[in-house]
Chain A
Amino acid sequence: MISNDMKICSRCIYDERTPAITFDEEGVCNYCKTFDSLLEEYQTGKPEGEKRMNEIIEEIKKNGKGKKYDCVIGVSGGTDSSFMVYWAVQKGLRPLAVHYDNTWNTSIATENIRKVLGKLKVDLYTHVCDNKEADDIFKAFFVAGVPEIEASTDLALAETMYRAAAKYKVKYVLEGHSFIAEGITPLGKNYFDGKYIKNIHKKYGKLPLKTYPLMTFRNLIKWTTIYRIKKIRPLWYIEYNKEDARVFLENMFGWQYYGGHHLENRMTSFFQSIYCPDKFNIDYRNNSLSALVRAGKMKREQAIYEYYETSPYIEPELLNYFKKRLVLSDEEYNTIMKSPPRYWYEFPTYKKRFERLRPLFYLLMKANLIPRSFYMKYCFPTQINKN
């Protein structure tokens, strides 16, 4: 539903509602510019990019001599992470696959993990949160009325990967993030860190957190400065086509596509197809659609059509499942969904601390100890359009 007055980037499909967006004289947005500069800097898919990746691989192998594993890869059962494990093994690396189970996985996710790791003979490390605790945190975020209902899962995965790496003395964590396939996440409206999660839970949750792996500020500093565990994103360097990867995985491993971004986990499905559109009027499909357009893999008109004229796919029974698990009556659910949204800046977080310690994080970023996107997002004051 486009209004004729709404400004849309002339190149991708981010529109003026996107936080911190600016347009140049030709109507091209700053996120496209960021995309271009990343492409240029990392030489993604070009010989120089591949060369740099190979150099990093040699480093990883050298560092891993005498150890059981030389790198850690976070797996979810999804396309990117499944492909990454295959790629790593092909390159002669000895990965340890790591999974954080928030207990909302679909069987497709578990089966995909099992099939891919089984055939590649890769070991799996998991951290399973007690289902009651995981639900208590989810419910706390829901009741609080903030958008980051997925924050607890994302942060827990990051913390779990660090713990696994530390346990086996591994210095490299490989992440399956691809700025080409997933786009650049706008800064601003969404934010999370350990203090935020702890506080939301303290205020709105009921159960003590005993099994949830919280990444405190201290932990982050410990993993990066003392354990010196590096984060590498291979898909920023190498040629990668998500559709091709999907077909390959299906043929090679009997891997199953779950029909849409992130539908391997029901909480993520709820977040993307129901929670964000209904409560915050945010539809995340524009991230990946814009990415495809920028990379020349989809026509802009096609992306605009898909984004504005169709709705996100919703698994039947998803809403019932959500309410049942979090013990919400229809009334309670509706009341909360209708209540005004609240945002991270209304609650205690580490944000100011990250900003104050920017010089430290700059050094960490230079040493590949934190990703550049983390540095950009956390260490600079965020433009908040409070509308």
Chain B
Amino acid sequence: MLKVRIIPCLQLIDQSLVKTVQFGKYSYIGDPINTVRIFNELEVDELCFLDIRATVQKRTPNLKILSEIADECFMPLSYGGGVKDAETAKKILSIGFEKIIINTAAIENPALIMEIAKHSGNQSVIVSIDVKRSIWGGYVVYSNDGTMKTKLNPIEWARKVEEYGAGELLITSMDQDGTWKGFDNEIIRNISEAVSIPVIANGGAGAISDIGKAANIGKASAVALGSMVVFQKKGMGVLVNFPDKNEVEKELI
């Protein structure tokens, strides 16, 4: 049967790899190409790159570095960050990325989802939704790298986005991001049960047991790891790594 995919999710700010905490401060992780080589050797399932400040800093994706990254990888790759039109999406897909991730652009122009899907297939479009708990209970969708609050309800937006042709959803909990405290399995499950497309849980992984929880409780089809794969442990130094496959398997039974 299909394994639950475990995807290192690496944050790019222009040409450097970084890691944020709660969408705020970040630390340097290293050179993207070098890091990709390490993940290649570790034979990770899939790799995801997000240029988190591209939209806010009004930058377009750096095709040169994406090309270099794609040249190094022998596993599926997805990219998100500053993708606003189908042309850019197509270019990135053609240089060796399997999937495009769009967030703010999908909110501003949902037809973009359909445009990309029509040309390259639904499975090539991942819509990323950043969610935060609201003080009134419930969750709210944010855009622009978590800087702008929208009026969207995550579950309804997820359903809408599926209708528009998204192949997958990347659900990121802003509250949990970088905290090592575990995923927000409540919202992950709510969304996963509302749609028929795969959901990738993101934000908060701190231990291998969190992977199990996201799959079993959150009903996620895949799990994204951020801090866990770039730091030795919480509060300690940068060290690119990947959870032991045998230990993960035990969690997922």
B236 at the interface (CB under 8 A from A): yes
A190 at the interface (CB under 8 A from B): no
CB of A124 within 8 A of CB of B232, answer yes
Known A-B contacts A124-B232, A130-B16; the reply to A114 vs B30 at CB < 8 A is: no
| Interface of B, helix, strand, loop or mixed by DSSP | mixed
A105 at the interface (CB under 8 A from B): yes
CB of A125 within 8 A of CB of B237, answer yes
8 Å CB contact of A128 from B232, B236, B238:
B238
User: Which chain B residues in 45-79 approach chain A with CB under 8 Å?
Assistant: 68
Q: Determine the residue in chain B with the shortest Cβ distance to A108.
A: B41
B241 at the interface (CB under 8 A from A): yes
Number of residues of chain B lying within 8 A (CB) of chain A: 23
A-B contact count (CB 8 A): 66
The segment out of B31-39, B152-160, B192-200 that lies at the interface is B31-39
A269 to nearest B CB, angstroms? 13
Most buried by B among A131, A132, A324, A325: A131
A185 at the interface (CB under 8 A from B): no
8 Å CB contact of A132 from B15, B27, B38, B41:
B15
A55 at the interface (CB under 8 A from B): no
The answer for the CA separation of A324 and B33 in the assembled complex, in Å, is: 11
The answer for the CA separation of A105 and B15 in the assembled complex, in Å, is: 17
User: Which chain B residues in 165-217 approach chain A with CB under 8 Å?
Assistant: none
Apart from A107-B37, A114-B241, A125-B236, what 10 extra A-B contacts exist at CB < 8 Å? Answer: A98-B237, A99-B239, A123-B233, A124-B236, A124-B237, A124-B239, A128-B28, A128-B29, A128-B238, A131-B17
A-B contact pairs, 26 of them (CB 8 A): A98-B237, A99-B237, A101-B30, A101-B238, A103-B30, A103-B34, A104-B34, A106-B37, A110-B239, A111-B41, A113-B239, A114-B232, A114-B239, A123-B232, A123-B233, A124-B237, A126-B232, A126-B239, A128-B27, A128-B29, A128-B30, A130-B16, A131-B17, A131-B28, A131-B31, A211-B28
A residues contacting B by CB (< 8 A) are 97-99, 101, 103-107, 110-111, 113-114, 117, 123-132, 211, 324-325
B residues contacting A by CB (< 8 A) are 15-17, 27-32, 34, 37-38, 40-41, 68, 232-233, 236-241
